[in-house]
Structures are given as C-alpha cells and as structure tokens.
Amino acid sequence: MSRNQNRSKMDKIVSLAKRRGYIFQSSEIYGGLSSCYDYGPLGVELRKNIKETWWNDIVTSRENVVGMDSSILMHPKVWEASGHVENFTDPLVDCKQCKNRFRLDKGVHKFKCTNCNMKFHIKEGQIGGRKKYRECFDDLTASEPESYVNSTCPRCGKEESIILDKVACPKCGAADLTDPKQFNLMFKTHYGASEDSAHRIYLRPETAQGIFVNFANVSNAARAKLPFGIAQIGKAFRNEVTTRNFIFRSREFEQMELEFFVRPDASEKWHKEWIESRLEWYKKIGINEKNLQLREHGSDELAHYAKACVDVEYKFPFGWAELEGIADRQTYDLQQHIDHSGNKLTYYDQEQEEHIVPAVVESSAGVDRTMLTVLADAYWEDEANDRVVLSLSPQMAPIKAAVFPLVNREKMPEVARDIFEDLKGHLPVEYDDSGSIGRRYRRQDEAGTPFCITVDSQTLEDGTVTIRERDSLEQVRINKEHALQEIRDRIN
C-alpha cells in the first residue's frame, strides 16, 4: 500500500470510529482538545473486552500473579526515586526561521549520495540507530559539504554520503535552531489549597511505580513466593511533545502493566518467557501474526532503568510502531525505593536463607494502542458486496449479535423483540428495525458485530430464524429457542 493509501486507511478508521460510536475527539463542541479522546458506547465495550482478556490471561489464569489498583496521585518522592523527575525529559529545540518547536530527535540531517547525487534526509534520532529514509527535500540548497558519513543511499544503495547540514527543522528544512532545553513530560498539579512548589505533585506517567511502592504490602498480604507478579490497569498521563496518529500517542492513556519479580539470576530467562507469552496474547485476541514483530532496543534507546527491552510492534497504516515494551528492569526500581524511603523492600528467600532485592521483568502494554491495533487489523473493504467490515474476533466485538425483524409487520417485530429480550441478559446485543434489511446488515458489519439474527415469515410458521455470519455472509436456519446457545458456541 502506498503512503497515501495508508493515510487514507487511517482517515477511514478515524471516521468509522466516530460514526459508529467508538472514539470521539475530547471536548469536540469547543473545538476539541488535541490528543485527548472520549470513548463512545462501542468504544467502552471494546476497551472492557481488551482489559478483561488481558486480566484473565495475566492474573486470573495464573497462580502466581495478583492484581492491585493504586492511586493516580502519589508522593512526589516516588518520582524522584524512580528517576522520572531527572530523566523523563525530552530535549526540545525551536526553529528560529519558522518557529516550529520539536524534539531534537525529530530533527533531520540532509544528505547527498556521493554516487548518484540523490538528496535525502534522515531523522537525527535514527542516525546510528535504525535508519529510515523519508522523501527528499526537493528544495534542498546544498551548502558546503560538512562531513562524510556511512549512510546507505535509498536509491543506489551506496554506503557513503555527504552530510549537507547540521540538524535541521523537519518542517522548513532550516538548520537554524536554538540550543536544546530539557522538557519534563510529567503533568504537574498542586496538592491542597496552596500552589507553591512545596505542594507540587504529578499525575503518574506510568502505573508501574504504584506497584513498586506497594511491593511489601502486596507480597506480605498475598504471602507471595518468588517468582510472582503484580498487575495493574490504569490511566497514565504524559505531556507528550509530539502527538500524532489518533489514539496511538495521546496525553491521557491507559496502561496494562505487569511487574514480575524474580531472583536476579533468573531475570534473563523470565524476560524471554514473557516476550513469547505476550506475543502469543496478541495473536489470541485475533491480531494477524503477519502484522506483529518483535524488536530489541539498541543500547542507545534503552530507558534509564532497563538492562534489556523488546518491543512488540504492530504494522499500523503509518508504519511499524510499538504496542508494548517488555523490559528487564533488574533490581533498579526496588533498590531506588529502598534507598529513597529507607524501607525494607526485600524478599526473604527461605531456601537460601538470605534477604534479596528481587529483579523485575515488566510487560507494559497500552489499552489505547491495543484498541487501535484491533480496529486497524479488523478493517477492510468488501468491494464485491459494497460494504465496510470490521472483522473483530467475536471475543473482542462490542456487540455479539443484532436481532432484526425482516419487515415491520405481521408480528415479526414482536417475535424479534422477544428473542432480543431473551438474549439481552446474557450477551451484549442490539435490536434494530429501522431502514432496509440491507442497510441494517451494513451498519452491523461496520460496527464489527459478528452475527445477525433475522426473523422472517418462515419464523412465524416454524419458529426458525436465520443467523448470518459477518465475514463469510453465510446464513443458516436454526430454531429460535437455540439462538443463545448457538451464538455462545460460535463466540467460544
């Protein structure tokens, strides 16, 4: 797919999400608050399904993982100990020409290939790391060649190019920037009536710290033995400098985090196990495995606390991007909180008869990114049948079945309503009798509803209804009394 087609696929997903009640722009009637989103009737159901499936897989189905729910506002010392006050920053620069403010690693280097003279640019943050090429600046004016670097030309593949400029603005191309300033991504607020700096606290930028500071409380209450995990789902806030791609990067989002505590000498083994297990989970919720990949962080990208980190990436319409990070955080977090709080966050190993600081393997996934993944992976256009379809797995689908009378007469609406009432207490279902039957099917296809149950004239004669399957369009007749069991069997 070309860049334009991919862009238009994103636009189509955004407009479907609004039309069908999945996702709305926050505060839309006031012009919207950028990069904040509200979730509509189908959106909340899909999020609930994502979170429930995660919780079942991580907590309910395992003997050695327990859950918790910590507060969003925490003691400011938590963020000093965790390193967020000092390190959770982005270097920002301003372009003196066009006044664009951007993260230094989003700046670009302009290059000219020494072989074919192709001019192209590479993001500052990708030099030395993974190199990706964007389209060249057509209006590039070559200054004196500054230096030679080994940078593969996207056209002829030659591994030597002239670097034409220092870091330049990605918007206007000028290499006329201010010195970088560190910008902390944590949202600040004040605790109580006083607004002085002594009362400054933060909205949590990750849920993980709520788990670390409760390590002793939870492990004592649960009488946990290593290896064991503590899981949490909750909101996190980051004053992101660049927000793009719909709900992929927003300022308020939700995380699903597992902190799995292990003996320090076992962290590598558990890191590998969790990577496999998390990749499998995305397949289990219906994501096409061709669109999933693992990517190991280079040493220059690792967060301040991690020894190793592997991302699960998804091939979004805008390219491969991180869905979740699985990090070997070693003993960093507990040790920092021991040092800063003076509390004993150690574990007594009865076999070895010693107190140890456990290491931690973390799986940190985003609810919003998983939701975008689920929607993007499910979206397709069925040209042959002139419809747009969200092929959500029945387990993820917000509405499991829709019940229709074929026409609004001859007792069909009454019979259909009875079936709807029977199903309603057991499954999320919808009743619809407005518009032609074709339009009603198409509405449900777009909403991702896997099954439609239709009452027609034959129902009035023999008590059977049709069940239509969304993707194959296959229809079977079953007795209306069996509708609930049939839908349940198909979901499972």
Instruction: Decide: 248 and 321 in contact? Cβ < 8 Å.
Output: yes
In the complex, least distance from residue 198 CB atom to ligand GAP, rounded to whole angstroms: 27
**Based on CB atoms, which residue is closest to ligand GAP, 369 or 480?**
369
Q: Is 405 in the site for ligand GAP (CB under 6 A)?
A: no
In the complex, least distance from residue 257 CB atom to ligand GAP, rounded to whole angstroms: 6
| Contact pattern from residue 251 through residue 280 relative to ligand GAP, giving x for each residue in contact according to CB under 6 A and a dash for the rest | --x-x-x-----------------------
Structure tokens at 209: 């710290």
**Based on CB atoms, which residue is closest to ligand GAP, 124 or 368?**
368
Stretch that binds ligand GAP, among 140-148, 280-288, 316-324, 406-414 (CB under 6 A): 316-324
**Based on CB atoms, which residue is closest to ligand GAP, 45 or 322?**
322
In the complex, least distance from residue 62 CB atom to ligand GAP, rounded to whole angstroms: 20
Identified binder of ligand GAP from the candidate list 23, 68, 208, 447, rule CB under 6 A: 208
In the complex, least distance from residue 230 CB atom to ligand GAP, rounded to whole angstroms: 13
Residues 86-115 that bind ligand GAP (CB under 6 A): none
Core vs surface per residue 100-127: b (16+ CB within 10 A) or e: bebbbebbbbbbbbeeeebbbbbbbbbb
In the complex, least distance from residue 118 CB atom to ligand GAP, rounded to whole angstroms: 34
Residues 341-400 that bind ligand GAP (CB under 6 A): 362, 364-366, 368-369
Stretch that binds ligand GAP, among 12-20, 45-53, 321-329, 427-435 (CB under 6 A): 321-329
Q: Is 325 in the site for ligand GAP (CB under 6 A)?
A: yes
Question: Which residue is closest to ligand GAP by CB?
Answer: 366
In the complex, least distance from residue 251 CB atom to ligand GAP, rounded to whole angstroms: 7
**Based on CB atoms, which residue is closest to ligand GAP, 110 or 238?**
238
Within its chain, how far is the Cα of 118 from the centroid?
A: 36
Q: Is 324 in the site for ligand GAP (CB under 6 A)?
A: yes
Interface residue list for ligand GAP (CB under 6 A) = 206, 208, 238, 240, 249-250, 253, 255, 257, 322-325, 362, 364-366, 368-369
